[in-house]
Structure 1
Amino acid sequence: MDGFLNLNKPFGFTSHDCVAKVRRIYQLKKVGHAGTLDPAATGVLPIAIGRATRLLQYLRHEKAYQATIRFGVTTATDDLEGEVLTQQAVPNLELSQIEEKLPLFQGVIQQIPPNYSAIQVQGKRLYELARSGQAIEAPIRTVEILDLKILAFRPGDFPELDLEIACGGGTYIRSIARDLGAELGTGATLAKLLRTESSGFELAGSSSIEQLPVPLMEPESALLHLPEMVLTSDLARRWCQGQKIAIESERSGMVRVKNDSFLGIGEVRSDGVLVPQMVYEPV
Structure 2
Amino acid sequence: MHINISNIPSNNLIKPKKRNISGVLLLDKPYGISSNKALQTAKQLFVAAKCGHTGTLDPMATGLLPVCFGEATKFSSILLGANKTYEATLKLGFMSTTGDAEGLISQVAATVQNPTFTQCQQTLTQFIGIIKQMPPMFSALKHHGKPLYCYARNGEVIERQAREIVIHEIQIQSLNHNELQLSIQCGTGTYIRVLAEDIGKAMGCGGAYLTGLRRSAIDRFDLSQAYSLIALENMSLSERDNSLLPIDYLLHDYPSITLDRLNALHIQQGRNIVFPENISEMMKDRKLIRLYSEQHQFLGLGEITIEQTITAKRLLSDSYLLEYATQNFSG
8 Å contact from structure 1 (residues 262, 281) kept in 2: no
Report the CA distance between 1:271 and its aligned residue: 4.5
Q: Deviations over 1:64-120 (max 9, x none)?
A: 111111100011111111112443343342222222221221112221122111122
8 Å contact from structure 2 (residues 135, 191) kept in 1: yes
Q: Which moved more, 1:226-235 or 1:263-272?
A: 263-272
TM-score calculated relative to the size of structure 1: 0.92
Would you say 1:274 and 2:305 are equivalent positions?
A: no
Cα gap change, 1:269 to 1:179, in 2 (>3 Å): farther
SS state of the match for residue 189, structure 2? coil
CA distance in 2 between partners of 1:279 and 1:20 (Å): 25
1:65 is matched with 86
1:208 is matched with 228
1:226 is matched with 254
Which amino acid in the other structure matches residue 235 of structure 1?
Answer: N
Runs (4 or more) in structure 1 with deviation over 4 Å come to none
CA distance in 2 between partners of 1:235 and 1:76 (Å): 57
TM-score calculated relative to the size of structure 2: 0.80
- For residue 125 of structure 1, the aligned residue among 133, 147, 170 is 147
Q: Structure 2: where are the runs of 5+ without partners?
A: 1-20, 322-331
SS state of the match for residue 210, structure 1? helix
2:291 is matched with 257
Would you say 1:79 and 2:115 are equivalent positions?
A: no
Q: Deviations over 1:136-194 (max 9, x none)?
A: 22342222112111111112xxx111111111222111111011112223111111111
Which amino acid in the other structure matches residue 177 of structure 1?
Answer: A
SS state of the match for residue 243, structure 1? coil
Would you say 1:114 and 2:136 are equivalent positions?
A: yes
Which amino acid in the other structure matches residue 101 of structure 1?
Answer: T
Q: Deviations over 1:27-51 (max 9, x none)?
A: 2241111121111111111001111
8 Å contact from structure 2 (residues 137, 157) kept in 1: no
Higher Cα Rg: structure 1 or 2? Answer: 2
Q: Deviations over 1:170-222 (max 9, x none)?
A: 21111110111122231111111111112432101111101215221111122
- For residue 187 of structure 2, the aligned residue among 165, 168, 186 is 168
CA distance in 2 between partners of 1:39 and 1:150 (Å): 24
Q: Structure 1: where are the runs of 5+ without partners?
A: none
Would you say 1:182 and 2:201 are equivalent positions?
A: yes
Report the CA distance between 1:272 and its aligned residue: 2.3
CA distance in 1 between partners of 2:214 and 2:291 (Å): 34
Q: Which moved more, 1:97-106 or 1:41-50?
A: 97-106
CA distance in 2 between partners of 1:11 and 1:73 (Å): 22
Cα gap change, 1:140 to 1:273, in 2 (>3 Å): farther
Count of aligned positions: 280
2:47 is matched with 27
Tell me the percent identity: 35
CA distance in 2 between partners of 1:92 and 1:150 (Å): 15
8 Å contact from structure 2 (residues 54, 65) kept in 1: yes
Which amino acid in the other structure matches residue 173 of structure 2?
Answer: L
8 Å contact from structure 2 (residues 83, 186) kept in 1: yes
